[in-house]
Amino acid sequence: MDLLQQIIHGDRILFESINSRWTNPFFDHFFLFVREALFWTPLYFFLLLFVVLNFGWRGWWWACFFIGCVAVTDTVSSHILKEAVGRIRPCALGGSVRFLANYCPQGGSFPSAHATNHFGMATFMALTLGRISRGWWAAWAWAAMISYAQVYVGVHFPLDVLGGAVLGILAGMVFARLYNRKIGPLLFTNPSPE
């Protein structure tokens, strides 16, 4: 086997482990819910509102860059790379795949748009809000959990998620660097003593 075939074979073995072996009834429900917009959208709305209300004009610019990052990651992953690569999703293969989602998306599998978008947002947040909170690493843990759910429910292979994570991290770095350079990092200012 050449290197590419070995990588794809390893990807299938890891997929089977996550999707069929490392499972339990609680995770079946939990990961199915985690990947849905109903689970994660309120957090992002709260974050946007928090930043805008606490940082004034810099917060508005932050929201614009944040939304721009998502628009770019989603466009590149969903409309450019998926069509160019054309990898078939595991749920479309049938066989021994445990398919837990309500539907099997028709688009290609590589890269995972969930992974690309969430890792893009997480990286942007970590590099622009990291000076405010030491808990910035939680953004990447959040993105990893949502990405893992995509494999667990049977709609993506692990390499789809890994490729999406790398693409999202790169996009988040670019948007964060632009934001920090053009607008400046977000910092809480202490009120002046009276």
What does the pLDDT look like over 45-98, one tens digit per residue?
999 999 999 998 999 999 999 999 999 999 999 999 999 999 999 998 877 889
% helix / strand / coil in the chain, to the nearest 5? 75, 0, 25
pLDDT digits (tens, 9 = 90+) for 13-47: 999 999 999 999 999 999 999 998 888 899 999 99
Q: State the pLDDT at residue 191.
A: 44
* Nearest Cα residue to 90 out of 164, 10, 158, 7: 158
Q: State the pLDDT at residue 194.
A: 43
Beta carbons of 128 and 183 less than 8 angstroms apart: no
> Residue range 183-188: average pLDDT?
76
Q: State the pLDDT at residue 44.
A: 92
Taking residue 47's Cβ as centre, other Cβ atoms within 10 Å add up to 17
> Residue range 163-180: average pLDDT?
97
Q: State the pLDDT at residue 141.
A: 93
The domains located in the chain, with CATH, are 37-182 (1.20.144.10)
* Nearest Cα residue to 166 out of 124, 116, 122: 116
pLDDT digits (tens, 9 = 90+) for 91-143: 988 778 898 988 888 889 999 999 999 999 999 999 998 666 677 788 899 99
Q: State the pLDDT at residue 189.
A: 52
> Residue range 146-152: average pLDDT?
96
